[in-house]
Chain A
Amino acid sequence: MKILVVEDEYALLKAVEEFLSAEKYVVEKATDYHSATEKVMLYNYDCILLDISLPGGSGLQILNEMKKEGKAGNVIIISARDSLDDKVAGLDSGADDYLAKPFHLTELHARIKAVLRRKLHDGKQVMRLGNSSVDFAQRLVCVDDRPLKLNRKEFNMLAFFATNRNRLIAKDALAEHIWGDNIDMADDFDFVYSQVKNLRKKLKEAGSDIVIENVYGVGYKLVL
């Protein structure tokens, strides 16, 4: 899987690159408008992470040019401008998703996976995890082909863990994934804790191989 990251802030670019390389993606980088346009027009990428404000031009311009050239991009906009207009303009110009900075890398990964899954269209929306499987399209979890009953938030949580398998997911990132990025209250962490506890209990009772580890009290990790 080849991913192009268009971002002018080097520190962020580096962190994203390292994270995605560890997930076995091939990562290409562009740090300004012209090099980004060149790369987008010359090569095909499975996914493009596009910053809007770039030296030399706007990410929205790149989107419009891609549209003109008929390039299907799987574009996720990553913008510091958390504004409604930019989101609407970006999604109208053919972007697949919009992620406001700052974001958690695990959240970014979940969004990339979602975009990639959506473009596959070949029924490969089921992820196998040991004796369990997660069907993202039907929002169904099976353990040994027996469906496991999960509520909406528990499913969202498990899907997030499954996408970021073997990765440490900080409690903040988990809470934000469930609540959108507005968790404006302290109690949410207790809630996260109790939800994870319930999820673990359900998985264990169903005999799943999936284990959700607690890492030093700072976050969780899905292992098999």
Chain B
Amino acid sequence: MRLTNHLISRITLWFAVVMLFWSALYFLFQMKEIHDGNDEGLTNLKQEFIAKANALPGFVEKLTADTPLNFIVEEISREDAEAFVETFQTTTVYFATELEKEEVRMLSTAFRCEPNGKYYRLRCFTSTVESDDLIKNMLYLLAALWAVLSLTVIIVCKVVISKANKPFYQTLAELRKFRLDNNTMIAFPETQIKEYRQLNEAVAELLSGNIAIFSDQKQFIENTSHELQTPLAAVIARMESMLEKHQASREDAQEIAGALSVLNRMKRLNASLLLLSKIKNRQFADSSPVDLRALLTSVMCELDELAACKQIAVETQGEASPTALMNEDLACILLTNLAKNAIAHNEPGGTIVLRYEPEAVIIANSGRESAVDPFGRYRSDSKSSGLGLSIAKAIADIYGIGLEYGYEGQMHRFTLRIAKPEAVLPRLCFFPNLYGIASYVCIITN
């Protein structure tokens, strides 16, 4: 629920409760005021009546016989009269003209008539406001008022709150776009509201701190990885010349070669980690539409001798030419790693199936099922760095390409799902030698 709607619904609810309570209170006060007025009139009437009855002998008898419309005079015993308590009450009386009972305010009292010494009960009444009608009318009016006020509250709240919250939503949108590795601080909107200013300041402080720490760490890792390369180069070079120079014995040569091979693995691991970190830091710009069919075909062409060496048959299915908007070199690394994986984890005499669909490329290879997560960060293997598929996954991730693994029909199946580019894009031919992790701009000459 949006903040504005939340606030409006809460305000409206409370508003309704207060209005209801206030309406009831208003109604009760109003009725009390009306009854007070009526009661006062009835008291005056009573006093006039008793004064007149005492002054004019025969007045009471005459009235008792005549029974005027708003007086009922009845003779009662002295005991009853003395015990009588004067009361006001709201009751109903049947009016023949109206054909219905009308609400009236009635005063009941008792008095002694001086001229004849008799005791009488007097009930005089006056018609009053009908509370039903009053309630009904009041409810109508209050409902109208309530509706108008609610509408006003909603509109005003919506406008005011939305306006007041604008800097907040702008900050939120900026935060969504924020990327730690971009090294750029987000732009905060100007605002007069103190809390939002404080929020912006707090966020800015937090972000700049994080950016600084992240850059330091990144720099440190990159520097360390890079710095490792030179000593590694020195050791490899020294050992290679040692291997050659001294006409080493077979045992020594094999020892040195073994050590060299471990060093080489370390070198590749370091290079792969550097690449992985660069991909994850999105240090590859320049996206362009890449024809994955053409690219995979050229990659497979590079690898065909390798496949032939294991007697692996390569089969192509589907006529589609899926296109992905991405960096060409990374596309090449992605497909090369998947293709190499399909060859490496294949059995001698196995098959590779390349299937092209309009929005997917499937690379499947025969082989035994394995329980290992193929995208695991590190798979220990004697020669492989084990990072090939992690790199492929990292590349797919940054371009929003789905890379799924499945095992069905005795085949390992890697599926690349490409979100369809909006326009029909021109096909690109790929330079076949651009290939492999570190050779993406290397010019290989012979």
Query: Cα distance A180–B437 when bound, in Å?
Result: 8
User: Judging by beta carbons under 8 Å apart, are A181 and B309 in contact?
Assistant: no
User: Judging by beta carbons under 8 Å apart, are B442 and A184 in contact?
Assistant: no
Given A160-B446, A180-B435; A105-B343 close (CB under 8 Å): no
B314 to chain A, nearest CB (A): 16
B391 — nearest CB in chain A belongs to which residue? Answer: A184
Given A101-B232, A170-B260; A82-B274 close (CB under 8 Å): yes
Query: Cα distance A168–B247 when bound, in Å?
Result: 10
B170: Cβ under 8 A from any A Cβ: no
User: Judging by beta carbons under 8 Å apart, are B257 and A12 in contact?
Assistant: no
B254 to chain A, nearest CB (A): 6
Residue of A12, A80, A82, A218 touching B243 (CB-CB under 8 A): A218
* 29 cross-chain CB contacts under 8 A: A11-B234, A12-B230, A12-B234, A12-B237, A15-B240, A83-B278, A87-B441, A88-B441, A97-B443, A98-B442, A98-B443, A101-B232, A103-B233, A103-B237, A110-B445, A111-B445, A163-B446, A172-B260, A176-B264, A180-B436, A180-B444, A181-B438, A184-B385, A185-B340, A185-B384, A187-B306, A187-B309, A218-B254, A218-B256
B251 to chain A, nearest CB (A): 9
B284: Cβ under 8 A from any A Cβ: yes
Query: Cα distance A219–B264 when bound, in Å?
Result: 14
A152 — nearest CB in chain B belongs to which residue? Answer: B305
User: Judging by beta carbons under 8 Å apart, are A9 and B268 in contact?
Assistant: no
Q: Which of A33-41, A62-70, A188-196 contacts B (4 or more CB under 8 A)?
A: A188-196
B267 — nearest CB in chain A belongs to which residue? Answer: A102
User: Judging by beta carbons under 8 Å apart, are A181 and B439 in contact?
Assistant: yes
B310: Cβ under 8 A from any A Cβ: yes
User: Judging by beta carbons under 8 Å apart, are B241 and A181 in contact?
Assistant: no
Query: Cα distance A168–B246 when bound, in Å?
Result: 12
A201: Cβ under 8 A from any B Cβ: no
Given contacts A105-B241, A183-B268, A188-B383, 18 further A-B pairs with CB under 8 A are A80-B227, A80-B233, A84-B441, A101-B232, A102-B230, A102-B232, A102-B234, A103-B233, A105-B237, A115-B445, A139-B446, A168-B244, A170-B257, A180-B437, A181-B438, A184-B268, A185-B383, A187-B309
Residue of B271, B305, B382, B383 touching A191 (CB-CB under 8 A): B305
User: Judging by beta carbons under 8 Å apart, are A172 and B444 in contact?
Assistant: no
Residue interface mask B331-348, A partner, CB < 8 A = 1: 000001100100110000
Residues of B within 8 A of A (CB): 226-227, 229-238, 240-241, 243-245, 250, 253-254, 256-257, 260-261, 264, 267-268, 271-272, 274, 278, 283-284, 305-306, 309-310, 329, 336-337, 340, 343-344, 381-385, 387-388, 435-446
Query: Cα distance A81–B257 when bound, in Å?
Result: 26
B253 — nearest CB in chain A belongs to which residue? Answer: A216
Given A11-B234, A111-B445; A187-B268 close (CB under 8 Å): no
User: Judging by beta carbons under 8 Å apart, are A16 and B237 in contact?
Assistant: yes
Contacting residues, chain B, for A160 (C-beta < 8 A): 446
Contacting residues, chain A, for B260 (C-beta < 8 A): 170, 172
A31: Cβ under 8 A from any B Cβ: no
Q: Interface residue tally of chain A, by bracket?
A: 35 or more
User: Judging by beta carbons under 8 Å apart, are B233 and A12 in contact?
Assistant: yes
Contacting residues, chain A, for B444 (C-beta < 8 A): 180
B166 to chain A, nearest CB (A): 40
User: Judging by beta carbons under 8 Å apart, are A181 and B268 in contact?
Assistant: yes
User: Judging by beta carbons under 8 Å apart, are B243 and A170 in contact?
Assistant: yes
Contacting residues, chain A, for B442 (C-beta < 8 A): 87, 97-100, 180
User: Judging by beta carbons under 8 Å apart, are B253 and A215 in contact?
Assistant: yes
User: Judging by beta carbons under 8 Å apart, are B237 and A19 in contact?
Assistant: yes
Query: Cα distance A155–B444 when bound, in Å?
Result: 13
Query: Cα distance A35–B231 when bound, in Å?
Result: 22
Which 9 A-B residue pairs are closest in the complex by CB-CB distance? A180-B439, A180-B436, A218-B257, A102-B233, A15-B237, A186-B383, A182-B437, A182-B436, A11-B234
A224 to chain B, nearest CB (A): 18
B438 to chain A, nearest CB (A): 5
Query: Cα distance A14–B242 when bound, in Å?
Result: 12
Given A97-B443, A191-B305; A217-B254 close (CB under 8 Å): yes
User: Judging by beta carbons under 8 Å apart, are A189 and B441 in contact?
Assistant: no
B263 — nearest CB in chain A belongs to which residue? Answer: A102
Contacting residues, chain B, for A71 (C-beta < 8 A): none
Contacting residues, chain B, for A173 (C-beta < 8 A): 240
Contacting residues, chain B, for A16 (C-beta < 8 A): 237
A6 to chain B, nearest CB (A): 13
Query: Cα distance A112–B219 when bound, in Å?
Result: 32
A103 to chain B, nearest CB (A): 6
Contacting residues, chain B, for A100 (C-beta < 8 A): 229, 271, 438, 442
Contacting residues, chain A, for B244 (C-beta < 8 A): 167-168
A206: Cβ under 8 A from any B Cβ: no
A51 — nearest CB in chain B belongs to which residue? Answer: B230
B358 to chain A, nearest CB (A): 30
User: Judging by beta carbons under 8 Å apart, are A84 and B233 in contact?
Assistant: no
A148: Cβ under 8 A from any B Cβ: no
Contacting residues, chain B, for A139 (C-beta < 8 A): 446
User: Judging by beta carbons under 8 Å apart, are A114 and B241 in contact?
Assistant: no
Contacting residues, chain B, for A93 (C-beta < 8 A): none
CB interface residues, A 113-143, toward B, < 8 Å:
114-115, 118, 136, 139
Query: Cα distance A183–B436 when bound, in Å?
Result: 8
User: Judging by beta carbons under 8 Å apart, are B264 and A190 in contact?
Assistant: no
User: Judging by beta carbons under 8 Å apart, are A186 and B229 in contact?
Assistant: no
Query: Cα distance A115–B445 when bound, in Å?
Result: 8
A153: Cβ under 8 A from any B Cβ: yes
Query: Cα distance A216–B251 when bound, in Å?
Result: 8
Contacting residues, chain B, for A104 (C-beta < 8 A): 236-237, 240
Q: Which of B336, B382, B387 has the most CB of A within 10 A?
A: B336
Q: Which of A100, A111, A118 has the most CB of B within 10 A?
A: A100
